Chain A
């Protein structure tokens, strides 16, 4: 079945460091891909998304490119801030119909801790 694998955390970085969180997926057809972020004490929030191959999602300095050839959707940010400390979830939606926002299959989440 469809699945998402993301790198285990925690990831600990100094402020202004470069961030990469790897995410790979297994799916039939053409899934939509997402990154969600969960700040302490809050619900998951959509960070960015991509609905087709080679699309690049971006938001708040984060970006991820939908790579069908490598079945990957790695999250990157050039310079992290302390405020980026959170848990990041990679997810896919198996359905392309209606933009693919029905069921979501999540990775295990990666905790990021950024120190001053």
Chain B
């Protein structure tokens, strides 16, 4: 099946710094990508939907200035956590859907962020 890769798989940063997480579709063009956040023992929560070449659509309660999403190409979307704080520590997961619309979402392995 299609492959979606995230990088880094884990990152530790100091409070106040910014961290960028990349999501790549390796063998297909992803017109739409989704970013999720998962707290320990809780559900994956959709943060935002990004479409290639346009602004991301954020879910209610998600700070768009804090979680910057860029989907500049059909194979890459990035999530930047700006001015990170310990409460931003979480597991971030991206998923992608191809332009051919197979009806299936493909997920990355996830990126664990720890803010000290």
Contacts and interface: CB of A to CB of B under 8 A. Distances in A.
Interface of A: 4, 8, 36, 38, 41-46, 89, 98-99, 101, 103-109
Given A4-B43, A44-B95, A106-B43, A101 B110 contact: no
Nearest to B97: A101
A112 to B, nearest CB: 15
Which 6 residue pairs are nearest across A and B when measured between Cβ atoms?
A: A43-B107, A44-B107, A106-B44, A106-B43, A99-B103, A101-B103
Nearest to B5: A43
Contacts of B45: 106
A61 B97 CA distance: 26
B107 A45 contact: yes
B46 A44 contact: no
B43 A107 contact: yes
B104 A46 contact: yes
Given A4-B43, A104-B46, A108-B43, A44 B93 contact: yes
15 contacts: A8-B41, A43-B93, A43-B109, A44-B93, A44-B95, A45-B1, A45-B107, A46-B105, A101-B103, A103-B34, A103-B49, A104-B95, A104-B105, A105-B43, A106-B44
Contacts of B41: 8, 108-109
